[in-house]
Amino acid sequence: MIPRYSRPEMTKIWEAENKLRIWFEIEAHACDAQAALGVIPKEAAAVIWEKGQKPYTPERIARIDEVELEVKHDVIAFLTELAENVGEEARFVHQGMTSSDVLDTCLSVQMSQAADILLTDLDRLLAALKKRALETKHMVCIGRSHGIHAEPVTMGLKFARFYAEMERNKKRLTLAREEIATCAISGAVGTFANVDPSVEEHVAEKMGLTPEPISTQVIPRDRHAHFFAVLGIIASSIENVATEIRHLQRTEVREAQEYFAPGQKGSSAMPHKRNPILTENLTGLARIVRMAVVPALENVALWHERDISHSSVERMIGPDATITLDFALNRLAGTIEKLVVYPQNMLDHMNNFGGIHDAQRVLLYLTQNDVSREDAYRIVQRNAMRVWKSYGIDPDNPDTPAELDDVEKQAQEHDNRFFFFMSKDEGLTKILNVEKLTKLLDEDSISYHTKNVDRIFSRIFGE
């Protein structure tokens, strides 16, 4: 992954120094187990640790690369360079093992290390979402479906919803980490013909893994597919949050926006711009992470006991997906921590269309007072459409100003035009006592819609 979207801790996991150190530890622990079985001398195992356990400096890595150019095999190049350091005892290294024992077990370690970082990232994001949810718990704003005003919600509910989603993602990643953390030291085609199963058990314990119950020459790739699929889901959840922020930051909405730092510039051409660049970036990064999912799924099907069609794929998607997701989670956490919200704009938008957000409330009231649902719907919709028209929105005449009748003109003097139209509806007065309806409409509309916010929060946060 390019440095622009990389963080050092995650990047180090995939660097040659860490990979080769893990390779050595796998081989050396296997030697200890072989020595305990009497397969190799205990003295040889001790020498391998003593002479082989040296930092993988740029010079050592360059030497391995040099050998690989000749032998065209990365593990053989590693073993050759190790023998140059260890000496005669190196002949006992890799007893009964095959290259995939080293490569797959190492990949399990690296993916486990990456998952640990990602879980920490999720903890930071969860903390930020919870803090903002509690801060904005009762901050009322209009809910939207299809991008159109629906009924009131609170900004806190938005944050709480994203918190619950990310908490599910943490559970998914915890399980995926558990599934990927397996060790295979089973030899060619996985039969343990040339290496005792106790060697695998010993290496697994030392490397913080569990023995793979049954491998071929490789660890089954359904494990890896699950891991990358979970990363893809997390990336989609990041995009979910980012998309909400991007919509809320639109100039005509401006209910929330990314923090705009002093000295920050929004456009090379237009000095007035304050663009949602962080969340736009997160939308793009989510695509990169999801890009790994299909190749990981396609890696599950291998020929017989193994082929290496999966290898080149994993060398790329392993680093790219985890490094990108690590960066994205931290960028999103920082965005949430500093997100600016505008409660007055939220209230203004909610009240911009004359109370039509209470349409369902009135519909239900009518059905509970001897009006059929069909008649109630027609009554409520008829008056809601008049509200739209009173604001100059006439879909039948989009090119000309809406022609208003006397009642529609009178409604322009009222803040709650929907309630006004309902009280003037002659069809309604014939079937229902308007005074009862007026009393209902005069009651606090907002508390009606938000009365269960505390209950929802208790489900999410247990508070």
Output DSSP code: residue 395: T
C-alpha–C-alpha distance, residues 118 and 110, integer Å = 12
Largest pairwise CA distance in the chain: 104
With a CB cutoff of 8 Å and minimum separation 6, the contacts of 289 are: 231, 232, 234, 235, 321, 324, 325, 328
CA–CA distances in Å: residue 157 to residues 139, 145, 185, 270, 444:
9, 15, 49, 35, 20
Q: Would you call 451 exposed, middle or buried from its count of C-beta atoms within 10 A (0-12, 13-18, 19+)?
A: exposed
Catalytic residue among 145, 146, 272, 304: 146
* Nearest C-alpha neighbor of 31 from the set 78, 105, 91, 100: 91
Tokens of 226: 């699950």
C-alpha–C-alpha distance, residues 458 and 140, integer Å = 18
* Nearest C-alpha neighbor of 456 from the set 212, 194, 138: 138
For the question of residue 146 being annotated catalytic, the response is yes
* Nearest C-alpha neighbor of 22 from the set 97, 80, 79, 103: 103
Angle formed at CA 146 by CA 144 and CA 147, multiple of 5 degrees: 55
The helix (H) or strand (E) run that includes residue 103 is helix 99-135
Identify residue 58 by its one-letter amino acid code. P
Query: Can you give 402-415 as a three-state secondary structure string?
Result: CCCCHHHHHHCCCC
Catalytic residue among 73, 267, 309, 447: 267
* Nearest C-alpha neighbor of 183 from the set 196, 201, 195: 201
C-alpha–C-alpha distance, residues 188 and 195, integer Å = 9
For the question of residue 112 being annotated catalytic, the response is no
Q: In Å, how far from its chain's centre is CA 298? A: 22
CA–CA distances in Å: residue 405 to residues 209, 221, 416:
76, 70, 18
The helix (H) or strand (E) run that includes residue 174 is helix 155-180
Angle formed at CA 452 by CA 446 and CA 458, multiple of 5 degrees: 140
Catalytic residues: 146, 267
